[in-house]
Amino acid sequence: MPVALTTPENKMLGTKRLMNTASLTLEDWRAWQPGRSPTDDPRLSTDERPSGASVPAMLRRRLNDTGRAVCDMLATLDPNAECVLLHASRHGDAERTLDMLYALHEEGALSPARFGMSVHNAVLGVHSIASGNRRSLQAIAASGAEVSALFSEALGYLMDGEKHVVMVFSDAPIPARFADHTPGPSTMTAVVLRLSLTSPSRSSKTLIAQSASATMLEHCRPPQPDDVIAWLLDEAPLVCPLRRRTWRLSS
């Protein structure tokens, strides 16, 4: 009788096949986009300045508006601070980073606190201190493919046994002195999604990945957080030209 041998290579191939066929479930989401026209969906906030009430005052003053919004949304979607958290930002806090680079060029002193808040995982770090979350926290920058990277990382964690993963995508306008060199959002924006592999319920949706058509790729830009928000509100498709992928939500 033939015996099937399980090798690391076979196991990896099997996992890859499962990941290629598995579909993420979008359980819930929150978003913050100041200056946007209000909608009837209570999950989207258009407040000019988020409160940051989920973070103690001593920590809150270290956060910019995007950081405060992200921490408040994480507290809503992960109230028990028990989920793996993923945070992607193409540029991070570019204003703070450029200020430090110019200070170095001019042989000025750098503030340790300012440097600490310039790194990509700074906001998740503040949130983890405030909430007591001791799970994996991952920061991602993917040169315009942040959405695709977030979905891939989330799927990996879920396939490895996590029940829920919360992903964050945020960005801020590029500083004027750098704006001619790279595209960026026009306003501070952040969106947070809670994902799983469970069967969709009445309040959740299945996230289905597909190859993007040439027509879809022709005029699209690398997705920004506001593109994800428009997709969640069923106002526009979500397309990643670098990965030639698109995603749709199915009830």
Tokens of 144: 């315009």
Asked if pLDDT for residue 9 goes beyond 60, the answer is no
Tokens of 114: 């300012």
* Residue 238 belongs to some domain of the structure: no
8 A C-beta contact, residue 191 and residue 170 = yes
Average pLDDT score over the chain: 85
Instruction: Please tell me the predicted confidence (pLDDT) of residue 5.
Output: 39
* Residue 114 belongs to some domain of the structure: yes
Asked if pLDDT for residue 225 goes beyond 50, the answer is yes
Instruction: Please tell me the predicted confidence (pLDDT) of residue 94.
Output: 62
| CA torsion, ordered 13, 155, 138, 188, to nearest 10 deg | 140
8 A C-beta contact, residue 31 and residue 192 = yes
Asked if pLDDT for residue 227 goes beyond 90, the answer is yes
Mean pLDDT over 104-122 rounds to: 69
Asked if pLDDT for residue 154 goes beyond 90, the answer is yes
Mean pLDDT over 17-44 rounds to: 85
Please tell me the total count of domains within the chain: 1
* Residue 146 belongs to some domain of the structure: yes
* Residue 52 belongs to some domain of the structure: yes
Highest mean pLDDT among 9-18, 148-157, 181-190: 148-157
**Smallest Cα–Cα separation from 145: which of 227, 28, 35?**
227
Confidence band (pLDDT; 50, 70, 90) for 7? very low
Q: Which of 3-17, 139-153, 187-201 has the lowest mean pLDDT?
A: 3-17
* Residue 84 belongs to some domain of the structure: yes
pLDDT over 90, % of the chain? 60
SS3 letters across 169-236 = EEECCCCCCCHHHCCCCCCCEEEEEEEECCCCCCCCEEEEEEECCHHHHHCCCCCCHHHHHHHHCCCC
CATH code, 143: 3.40.47.10
* Residue 193 belongs to some domain of the structure: yes
Residues of the domain holding 31: 25-199
* Residue 167 belongs to some domain of the structure: yes
* Residue 14 belongs to some domain of the structure: no
